[in-house]
Structure 1
Amino acid sequence: MNLIDFKASILRNLPSKSQNGLLGKKVFQVGLGAVGGYIADSLIKIGAGIDDEFTIIDNDIFSVDNVGRHLLGMEYIGKSKSQAFKEYAKKQTFNQLKKLNTNFDNVSNYNFQYFVDNPMDLIVDTTGNIEVQEYLSELVQQIPLESRPNLLHLWIFGNGECVQGFWHDAKLQDHQGGCIQCLGTSANGLFESTLPIRNLDKEQRFGVCSAFTPYAVSCGMMASSLGINMILEWLETGMVKNNYQTRYNSEYQNEKINDLLIMANVNCPYCGEKYAKSI
């Protein structure tokens, strides 16, 4: 017998305007890295995986190199991030998280038909990988509009000078454009007008058989916070007014961009030709 009701604890802290958070919403998350671990934990705390499916995929192993900026700690070294997070989440929720599914898998194994057969309300991409972002954006646009999920991309920019989120609203994008490729493409990077920081000299470091970008633990937490705020805005109002949002760290005091509403860009391979002339 559980003496603590985890669902009641969630509802206690959600404002009524949040419409019971993600309780009753189907959520699919890609990635359990520095951003993904923190936001997965936070999504559960606004209702994901309690009443309806919360599926997370990741194909990486948790290593000692991850400990310095990840939600998970030393006890999970050597386990897949997907299995490690499931063990962690069960402990934190008193084994009451019955709808959490974590899979050691690659997003390329999921096509649009999977999401037709398994409808979702929200897909959260935490990989920070432009190729994955484009893959998911193109995949979502193949799903019939009546069952098309919203898609949230989150990433850390540079060495953590800022974090960013892009909200791909299924119905608004179909009407007025606005997808991740309206910001830029994997071939050419972000368009000048959407760059949060210009002329940034990003630091890279090299480990054993790999290169990596150094940034502090605060960056994953900040990106998670941004993502949760965007999701709560959607739950409370039915939309995210500015679908491209940026949060800078307190040390960065140079030129900044405001939160923006991104619609069709003429250079976007998906939205440009279809929408740009009419907007």
Structure 2
Amino acid sequence: MSKLGESLRALRTRGFTPVAARSAARSFKGVLACKKGEISVKLTIYDWNFLSYPHIQVLERQDFLPELMPHVDVAGNLCYFAPGSVTLDRYNPATAILQCLDQATAILDRISLDPHYRVEDIQNEFPAHWEYGQLSLPWQVLLGEIKPNTIKASYFILEIGDKKQALISNTPGEATRLAGALGANFKPSHFQCWILRTKSLPAVPQKMPTTIKELFDWIKIWDHDLYGKVQNILSQRDYLKQSYMPFAIETPVGWLGFGFDLDRIRREAYSRDPKKYRQYLHMKGGSQGLFRMAIKEVSARFVHSRNLSYEDLQNKRVTVVGCGAIGSFVAQALVRLGAGTGERGILKIIDSDKLGPENLGRHALGFPSLFRHKTEALQEELLRQFPHGKIIGIASSAFEYKQLFDADLIIDATGEEAVSELLNGLRLARSSEVPVLHIWIRGNGEAVQALWTDSTGGACYRCLTIPDPNHHRKERFELLKNAPVLRTDGCRAFTPYAVSSPLHASALAIDMICSWLQGSPSPKFRTRSVEGADLYKLRNHDPSKLKSCPACDPT
């Protein structure tokens, strides 16, 4: 309570007075002493642990504040700290609250004193201002795959429970997949959305356009070529076939969408001369209101490349051999990296086993997949999560699959030396150009290792084992100081390790694939260990071919 008292006294020194509480939150009214004048605000504290920042609302917009402001929405709610950017001291709430008021004052000073800051900040975050810059809510719209030269796309309505949402997409197939993933119903649409593009940042208006006339005036200032394209579309007949006219514009800061209803009587009367309807929109029809679209991209290209600074796996043919503990997590990561997307892209997962109870503790799949073929269940789960992908599950031995090397990359996630050696031997016998990434767990999960093999030279998988008549499969690069613990389950022996180990192995494999996507998988032999593991130290490097290796140098 002493801390609360200090906070109340600190607020009183700034002239803030309590507001009658309607909930557990505490609210106060006061003014921020900005350089151009005082600004009335309301401060509300919902969380005294400061997991969320106190809420500050501008109550009165003074003349020196523009109508459209960065960091301030149409209701006056002020964003003064980016979420997570500053940690407020829960043990010193008085200082924390004053820190928030000082930051809010500094933001409002910048808005009122620096017009360049206002314009630049609003331009860089224009889609957010477009969405929240008016009290009326925008129409929520999903944007699917839109090819670069597309000028029109279908406009679908998805029904998710009692809510409706629009989808703009080039193909009904994509709409079907997305509707299934979202649990939505949709019907084929005859409506079209016109697609436009500009390289110019949106012009910052004094206030957001709310009518057709204001829209035309704003676009003309923003990009005259864009304005001309809009007017050209309104001179053609196609748009008069539908009851409303939606546009989606790709800008350097994201997509903006808007539209307006079309008068049924006039569009039928002017169907043979659409320029007359365009003239109507510039005159009496110009006072008609707009509907805004808040566009959220859901295309495979956006979803999988948004967090990358390099190309993803789109249009790559990737094959995972083994869908056990390692392979199941590798496959999940691969689809998030874009595997299976694009016209050429495909992700194949190969394993002949079924999921048993003994697998559940360290596998990506759970009880709903028990006793099913791992590939079948994993394919189904991956497509449920990522419907854009082309994913094929093959429930057989990899060595019975004739198109095994019909790929851009093969990932050996079996963790079984015999399988890895045979796969390595096949690659060499075929003189295959397809790289093979081997990934495995060491000991009882103390470490994970991976080897990238390809046609550019260097060690093959068998080069990691030194021929020695006195030692069975002697390691070229020794790692374990102690033999792993083994257990038996009936006639089967297995090595116990926690689920963290296949996750660790999967992360190593994906990091090497990301290196490949950026130009080079080097170092091709990598080891990662857990803290405290009793191991020999190994450096990550590109191992050379082993002289007299029975696989790649059988001389």
Instruction: Please classify the TM superposition score into its range, dividing by the shorter chain length.
Output: 0.7 to 0.9
C-alpha spacing 1:154/1:162, structure 2 compared with 1 (3 Å): same
Further displaced range: 212-221 or 180-189:
180-189
In structure 2, distance between residues paired with 1:64 and 1:45: 27
Further displaced range: 42-51 or 186-195:
186-195
In structure 2, distance between residues paired with 1:86 and 1:104: 11
In structure 2, distance between residues paired with 1:272 and 1:167: 18
| Structure 1 match to 2:210 | none
Query: Tell me, what secondary structure is at the counterpart of 2:360?
Result: helix
In structure 2, distance between residues paired with 1:254 and 1:143: 36
In structure 2, distance between residues paired with 1:106 and 1:210: 20
Query: Tell me, what secondary structure is at the counterpart of 1:79?
Result: coil
| Structure 1 residue 254: Cα displacement | 4.2
Query: Tell me, what secondary structure is at the counterpart of 2:429?
Result: coil
Q: Which of the residues 398, 421, 429 maps onto 1:142?
A: 429
In structure 1, distance between residues paired with 2:340 and 2:484: 37
Whether 1:225 aligns to 2:507 is: yes
Aligned CA RMSD, in angstroms, stands at 2.1
| Structure 1 residue 13: Cα displacement | 1.5
Q: Which of the residues 298, 304, 313 maps onto 1:10?
A: 304
| Structure 1 residue 110: Cα displacement | 3.4
Q: Which of the residues 190, 194, 197 maps onto 2:480?
A: 197
Query: Tell me, what secondary structure is at the counterpart of 1:153?
Result: strand
Q: Which of the residues 542, 545, 554 maps onto 1:264?
A: 545
Q: Which of the residues 166, 174, 182 maps onto 2:463?
A: 182
| Structure 2 match to 1:120 | 407
**What is the percent sequence identity of the aligned residues?**
32
In structure 1, distance between residues paired with 2:472 and 2:420: 12
Whether 1:42 aligns to 2:333 is: yes
Query: Tell me, what secondary structure is at the counterpart of 1:29?
Result: strand
Q: CA offsets per residue over residues 172-225 of structure 1, 9 Å max, x none?
A: 12xxx4100110179966544312223x22111112342211000000000000
Q: Which of the residues 447, 469, 472 maps onto 1:162?
A: 447
| Structure 2 match to 1:277 | none
The answer to whether the Cα contact below 8 Å between 1:125 and 1:152 also exists between their aligned partners in 2 is yes
- The one-letter amino acid paired with 2:544 is M
The count of residues paired between Structure 1 and Structure 2 equals 257
Q: CA offsets per residue over residues 90-135 of structure 1, 9 Å max, x none?
A: 1111x222x2110100022135xx35xx631100000111111111
Q: CA offsets per residue over residues 2-41 of structure 1, 9 Å max, x none?
A: 37434421121222xx3x2211111111000110000000
The TM-score with structure 2 as length reference comes to 0.44
In structure 2, distance between residues paired with 1:262 and 1:231: 18
Q: Which of the residues 374, 384, 387 maps onto 1:91?
A: 384
Whether 1:107 aligns to 2:398 is: yes
The answer to whether the Cα contact below 8 Å between 1:245 and 1:258 also exists between their aligned partners in 2 is yes
In structure 1, distance between residues paired with 2:547 and 2:300: 48
The answer to whether the Cα contact below 8 Å between 1:196 and 1:246 also exists between their aligned partners in 2 is no
C-alpha spacing 1:254/1:30, structure 2 compared with 1 (3 Å): closer
Whether 1:77 aligns to 2:370 is: yes
C-alpha spacing 1:206/1:48, structure 2 compared with 1 (3 Å): same
- The one-letter amino acid paired with 1:224 is S
- The one-letter amino acid paired with 2:526 is Q
Query: Tell me, what secondary structure is at the counterpart of 2:306?
Result: helix
Instruction: Give the number of the structure whose alpha-carbon radius of gyration is greater.
Output: 2
In structure 2, distance between residues paired with 1:169 and 1:240: 10
In structure 2, distance between residues paired with 1:212 and 1:191: 21
In structure 1, distance between residues paired with 2:466 and 2:423: 13
In structure 2, distance between residues paired with 1:209 and 1:181: 28
| Structure 1 residue 271: Cα displacement | 2.9
Whether 1:62 aligns to 2:355 is: yes
- The one-letter amino acid paired with 2:443 is G
The answer to whether the Cα contact below 8 Å between 2:428 and 2:552 also exists between their aligned partners in 1 is no
| Structure 1 match to 2:531 | 250
The answer to whether the Cα contact below 8 Å between 2:478 and 2:536 also exists between their aligned partners in 1 is no
In structure 1, distance between residues paired with 2:484 and 2:531: 18
| Structure 1 match to 2:46 | none
| Structure 1 match to 2:45 | none
The answer to whether the Cα contact below 8 Å between 2:479 and 2:535 also exists between their aligned partners in 1 is no
In structure 2, distance between residues paired with 1:186 and 1:220: 29
Structure whose residues are more often helix by fraction = 1
- The one-letter amino acid paired with 2:434 is P
In structure 2, distance between residues paired with 1:204 and 1:72: 24
Whether 1:32 aligns to 2:323 is: yes
The TM-score with structure 1 as length reference comes to 0.85
Query: Tell me, what secondary structure is at the counterpart of 1:141?
Result: helix
Consecutive unaligned residues of structure 1, counting only runs of 5 or more, are 275-279
In structure 2, distance between residues paired with 1:186 and 1:120: 32
In structure 1, distance between residues paired with 2:301 and 2:533: 39
Larger RCO, structures 1/2 (Cα 8 Å, 6+ apart): 1
Query: Tell me, what secondary structure is at the counterpart of 1:194?
Result: coil
Structure whose residues are more often strand by fraction = 2
In structure 2, distance between residues paired with 1:122 and 1:190: 27
- The one-letter amino acid paired with 1:196 is L
In structure 2, distance between residues paired with 1:182 and 1:154: 15
Q: CA offsets per residue over residues 38-81 of structure 1, 9 Å max, x none?
A: 00000111111112121111011111111111111111111110
| Structure 1 residue 270: Cα displacement | 2.9
- The one-letter amino acid paired with 2:399 is S
